[in-house]
Chains A and B, each alone.
Chain A
Amino acid sequence: MEQILANGVYLGAQYAMIALGLTLIFALMNVLNFAHGQMYVLGGFVTYTFYGQLGWPFVPALLMSCLTLAVAGALIERFLFAPVIRRSAREESTMLLAAGLAFLLDAIILLVFGEKQRGVPKIVNGVLNWDFRVIMPYDRILICGLAILSIVTFILFMQYSKTGRALRALAQDRTAAELMGVDVARYSMIGFAIGAMLAGLVGGLLVTITGVNLGMGGPTSIKAFMMVMIGGAGVISGAIAGGIILGFLEAIGLAVLSQYGDITYLVIFVSLMIFLAIRPRGLMGKPWG
């Protein structure tokens, strides 16, 4: 039981971080970013390169991941999403752009970093073993702590900084924010950059545990979509809730249903569909038609 809780917290924290970036971008511009998983993978590879290959200390390498993705995110928003959103008749059209971007990032990652699974040295060794009731390696505890810290920082930033307040205003009502004098174009770009940066950050954090490979992008995006849907699209607290719920769902499902192995995920997915059918806007989502 304790082990399930611990697994749930650990999974939940990392999932919540992945979902945060996605939901931020969605909230700001109604873009369902299919390339989010690829951004996460890219973040992992940047940390791998600086920390694993060039021998930098971990934290600066992690910051390089954030920086790379923030810059990439800003450029992508400015030169790809903004013009398309401005000119397309139906805003869902950005899905094609996002998917194209996902393919593009996949291609770039394959050419630059290769097709193999990559890993980095552990940041801390050793395993916490509390009487065989909870077994958790120290590096996971550390990463989990860092993830929670980042989430708290992000919430505080959104709540109290000037940029955060502008972004929230933008997410709530684009037109009203514009009337209030918020520079919509600029803050859209900043928001997209922050969303991408979060993907890079979590990629860099997790590379120390799971390693990274080209194939992780697509499935990560899909998982992130699910979390966002559970919590409610475009709501920060919803993304966090969704991440934690999916984390616990997996931890509990795998423990309880292990006898029926093959259908564990089937049960998880079906219950997700039932949940959404009952609560068509997730836990706390705003309506969007």
Chain B
Amino acid sequence: MKRRTLVTAALAAAVAVAAQTGAAMAMNPVLKIGFVGVTSGPAAAWGTSNQRSMEARAAWINETGGYTIGGTTYDIEIVSFDDQKDPKRAIAGMEKMANEGIHYVVGPNVDDGAAAVRPVAEKNGIMYFPYAFPKELYSAPASNAVLGMVANYQSGPAIYKMLRDEKGVKTVAFVAANESDPLSQRDSGVAAAKALGLDVVSSNVTYQVDTTDFTPVLTPVMRSRPDLLVLSGVSPANAPQLIRSARELGYRGLISTETAQDARVLSEGAGDLANGFISVGGASTPEIASDMMKEFVDRYTAMFGEYNDESNTKVYALEYILETLKANPAAIDDVDEFQRTMDTFEAPNPYMKGDAKLRYVGMSSFGQKRQIAVPLVVNVFNDGEFETMFVAEVD
């Protein structure tokens, strides 16, 4: 027993030393921004596009001399922690961020992780930007979470309303994976559709995320002959298969989702059958992307070999953090200052053409400004590319 204890102690000591020698060597002082999310295992796609967006942007900033906040120019360092989509690991990741003295963290990617890190974040003065939708994360008394994208209960109604008014959609069916996030999104989607006077003809059908054949899943849904099929919270891996199965079963209506998708994945997995598929995206469609967005896509592609369209929304969180810090340099190690600034903060949106603004929103959904204003861009897939259907704003 003695030996094991010694080993434990030695290990702890070795780690403590290793941690202190790991500091980066740079000319500018370093500003660390954290990322806690899933970058390995089955759900690796979700966090990877996050992490890479941040790294691509940070490398760009550093290459062009750094980022100036309150007269000091910083190099940006992204500290990433892979939580393996495990809420227990996510807590460990947030603890690590606290230990590194980081006050601004992007992630986690899923509901359970975002809920689990809340105590640590609030205790240690960390603002975090999850990609999870539960309202209690962002409504008082919760104070430190900022929704990093448009929630489905915000985009859903906008999409359904447009389809009702312009495409004559009357009946809707929902399918969702049998997991927390998609099921919650389905429930709020159903509520939104009903509020708009749409007839929900099927909402009970669910599938396991590991389904390899969606024909039996979709057969009963197709029997209800909906005008619109909503794939609630669908992962980019499942979307093309679901679309393909629905079309092969002879479905001719519309298909939509409220999550971000990737064009190449859709065209590889479903080809022409995915034409007309409606999803929510960021700002990289040619109609609205600014030159800076285009350069971001180029740099991302050069750095990692292949762009991911999900990054169109995920590019924003880091930009918001930095811009807000620039607006109030005192917030750099004081999140109370950050929270005060959020109420009035406004800056031009560099990724979109025109005079779009970066600002914090969420009053109507959460009763406080705890969401970043990402343009609600609704895309339709056509022959391998996304086209913008309409752009809306969240308040």
Could you list which residues of chain A lie within 8 angstroms of chain B, going by C-beta atoms?
Answer: 3-4, 7, 10-11, 14, 52, 106-107, 110, 114-122, 127, 129, 132, 135-137, 206, 209-211, 213-220, 222-223, 250-251, 254-255, 258-262, 264-265
Contact = CB atoms under 8 A, between A and B. Distances in A.
A119 B269 contact: yes
Contact of B209 (A121, A219, A258): A219
Interface residues of B, number: 41
A254 B217 contact: yes
Interface string B240-271: 11000000111000000000001011001111
A260 B213 contact: no
A120 B264 CA distance: 11
A261 B205 contact: yes
A220 B211 CA distance: 9
Contacts of A209: 212-213
B355 interface: no
Contact of B268 (A11, A211, A220): A211
Given A4-B216, A11-B216, A132 B42 contact: no
Contact of A121 (B42, B204, B221, B271): B271
**Chain A's interface: helix, strand, loop or mixed, by majority?**
helix
A119 B213 contact: no
B215 interface: yes
Given A119-B269, A215-B41, A114 B306 contact: yes
A147 B70 CA distance: 66
B65 interface: no
Nearest to B221: A258
Given A117-B236, A262-B178, A3 B219 contact: yes
A14 B208 CA distance: 17
B44 interface: yes
A262 B45 contact: no
A2 to B, nearest CB: 11
21 contacts: A10-B215, A11-B216, A106-B40, A107-B40, A115-B48, A116-B262, A117-B237, A117-B265, A119-B265, A127-B250, A132-B250, A135-B215, A137-B248, A209-B213, A215-B42, A215-B45, A215-B209, A217-B42, A222-B210, A258-B221, A261-B205
Nearest to B183: A262
